[in-house]
Amino acid sequence: MTDAKTRIDETVKSNDVVLYMKGTKEMPQCGFSSRVAGVLNYIGVEYTDVNVLADEDIRAGIKDYSDWPTIPQLYIKGEFVGGCDIITEMTLSGELDGMFESNNIAFDKAAADKIREANG
């Protein structure tokens, strides 16, 4: 069996967008995970969700892998982007749009604009 770091590395490098979260994209099990999954779902980003509650090795391993103490954690094209607060700020500033655009990841720009309008 491969260790958690290897499994995480394979997941983040073989998927364009990965969200390590508590619960699933259909049923988040914490408010922070729900917020990030909600943004991604609303703007129509295709992403792989990994439920850290289903695997203790992954839950501990993802924190070491990113050197980031909290979950959720978003990865785009193998790169750690951030947790809930960072993703919220990037969504509101438009920086997340730019990251998706520069990596050729499809998303609904109008939906992203609606989020900013609602929170502006």
84 annotated as belonging to a binding site for a ligand: no
- Beta strands at 79-82 and 73-76: parallel, antiparallel or unpaired: antiparallel
Continuous segment of H or E residues that includes residue 21 = strand 17-21
Q: Cα separation of 83 and 75, whole Å?
A: 10
Are 94 and 31 a contacting pair, CB within 8 Å?
A: no
Angle at 55 between CA 26 and CA 75, to 5 degrees: 60
Q: Provide the strand spans (E) within 1-120.
A: 17-21, 48-51, 73-76, 79-82
Indicate the annotated binding residues: 30
Indicate the annotated binding residues for [2Fe-2S] cluster: 30
